[in-house]
Copies of this chain bind each other. A is one copy, B any other.
Amino acid sequence: MKNMVYIQSGGPTSVINTSFYGAIKEAQRHPEEIDHIYGSLHGIEGLIIDDLIDIGQEDEEQIELLLQTPGSILGTTRRKLPKDIHDEVYLKIIENLKKHSIKYVFVNGGNDSMDTCYKLSLLVKELGLDIVVIGVPKTIDNDLACTDHSLGFPSAAKFVINAVNALAMDAKCFQVGKVHIVEIMGRNAGWLSAAPDLLPPETRPQLFYIPERKFDLEQFLVDVKKVYEKEGYALVAISEGIDFPRDTKSMRVDGFGHAQLGGAAADLCHIVEDRLNLPTRAVEFSLVQRAFPACISLVDRNEAIQTGELAVKSALEGKTGNMIIFKRVSSNPYKIELQLCDLSKVANAESKITPSMMVDETRMSDEYRNYLRPLVEGEVTLKCKDGIALMANFKKAKVK
């Protein structure tokens, strides 16, 4: 008996279940090589405490709905495993992999999760076990190294662009405009915050602040004032991770040891009000930007399915210690190749916006726009009932 287990880890995206869908579909095409498809509940946690579910028990209709279901259907975790792969937590994982005759392990996640994936691949190799470990890239921050982009980013970018587009039309129609500061996800990378640069001049933010460039509060105030005086309103896109002196009392720390972000727009608005005496509105897209299914990009969906499929195919070929990556062949027409990359190169590295992608705080470069444009292409049609997108609802039958 040879089984597979699928793990979803870190922050969810609107297509995180779509790559799982691709993996399930591919696995179902190989019943002689894969007896059971298991899901580990709450990321690696399920493998530590022996909490797996049998995907074979789920209805086909519910599996189809994974294509439009945000959030990790298996649950997720932000738990970071110990550095020492001989720690007892790893022993428990190995014990459960053996107990359930698991030969194929898939870890779908971002930077920190790929670190988990990498460590696990090292350990099974060291122990000489007949187990393969494959990573599936995912992060709306788009900061995974070695790959052109990460699954989930295109759809999040599509939401952010379209939400800013709508918001700008609303913001512009008042006689007395405001300074709108829109906070977009991105701790260390500004990929997502820069996305609205793709908008036409009528709705494009006039200013962008991303973590890759040093944030100068005084210059920010000068720039905002200038834009407001010229245009009668201001629309400013900022990454949640930009660094300025803040009231840190309320800041919390997540399971990976990172400060929980949010509230930067509100804090900056207070500063603008105090210093410039201008009316403001802080807008934070919060969880909606990574979850809203009506903005799934067709490119993102299709690539997520292909990635899940390739992960399973690669595992069946015995590949291990790899993550699926995207290599861009061309942007116009958009052509991408899926390849494998050594996890050691990916784990804990970060991809950031390069200086050549940004002209200054008012504009990204053609290089960035040519990069982004094809990713947000194509609309998906959602299955709805009473005007509400249907969400997968799994039975989650526990594996004994």
Residues of A within 8 A of B (CB): 8, 12, 14, 42, 45, 69-79, 158, 161-163, 165-176, 180, 198-200, 202-203, 250, 252, 255, 262-263, 266, 270, 273, 279, 281-288, 290-295, 297, 373, 376-379, 381-382, 384, 386-389, 391, 393
Roughly how many angstroms separate A9 CA and B12 CA in the complex, as a whole number?
A: 40
Q: Which of B173, B199, B290 contacts A72, CB < 8 Å?
A: B173
Q: Assuming the A-B contacts A70-B169, A170-B71, A391-B202, are A162 and B292 also in contact, with contact meaning beta carbons closer than 8 angstroms in the complex? A: yes
Starting from the known contacts A162-B293, A167-B286, A285-B288, 17 additional A-B residue pairs (CB-CB under 8 Å) come to A42-B175, A70-B170, A76-B173, A161-B388, A162-B292, A166-B293, A167-B287, A170-B290, A176-B255, A202-B391, A250-B270, A281-B287, A283-B284, A283-B287, A288-B288, A294-B295, A377-B386
Which residues of chain B are within 8 angstroms of A281 by Cβ–Cβ distance? Answer: 262, 286-287
Copies of this chain, how many? Answer: 2
Nearest opposing residue in chain B for A13, CB measure:
B170
Instruction: Say whether B161 contacts A387, CB under 8 Å.
Output: yes
**Nearest 7 CB-CB pairs, A to B?**
A71-B169, A376-B387, A166-B291, A71-B170, A72-B173, A170-B291, A71-B173
Q: Assuming the A-B contacts A165-B391, A166-B14, A389-B165, are A175 and B75 also in contact, with contact meaning beta carbons closer than 8 angstroms in the complex? A: yes
Which residues of chain B are within 8 angstroms of A162 by Cβ–Cβ distance? Answer: 292-294, 388-389
Which residues of chain B are within 8 angstroms of A165 by Cβ–Cβ distance? Answer: 388-389, 391
Which residues of chain B are within 8 angstroms of A381 by Cβ–Cβ distance? Answer: 379
Roughly how many angstroms separate A72 CA and B168 CA in the complex, as a whole number?
A: 11
Give the one of A8, A162, A388 with max B CB within 10 A: A388
Say how far A255's CB is from chain B's closest CB, in angstroms.
Answer: 8
Roughly how many angstroms separate A163 CA and B69 CA in the complex, as a whole number?
A: 12
Instruction: Say whether B169 contacts A69, CB under 8 Å.
Output: yes
Q: Assuming the A-B contacts A71-B172, A166-B291, A173-B75, are A377 and B387 also in contact, with contact meaning beta carbons closer than 8 angstroms in the complex? A: yes
Which residues of chain B are within 8 angstroms of A284 by Cβ–Cβ distance? Answer: 283-284, 286
Which residues of chain B are within 8 angstroms of A287 by Cβ–Cβ distance? Answer: 166-167, 170-171, 180, 281, 283
Roughly how many angstroms separate A14 CA and B165 CA in the complex, as a whole number?
A: 12
Instruction: Say whether B69 contacts A167, CB under 8 Å.
Output: no
Instruction: Say whether A169 contacts B291, CB under 8 Å.
Output: yes
Instruction: Say whether B252 contacts A198, CB under 8 Å.
Output: no
Which residues of chain B are within 8 angstroms of A293 by Cβ–Cβ distance? Answer: 162, 166
Roughly how many angstroms separate A270 CA and B172 CA in the complex, as a whole number?
A: 32
A-B residue pairs in contact (CB < 8 Å), sample of 16: A71-B166, A71-B171, A75-B173, A76-B173, A77-B174, A161-B388, A162-B293, A162-B388, A162-B389, A170-B287, A198-B386, A284-B286, A288-B288, A294-B295, A373-B386, A376-B387
Instruction: Say whether B71 contacts A291, CB under 8 Å.
Output: no
Which residues of chain B are within 8 angstroms of A262 by Cβ–Cβ distance? Answer: 281-282
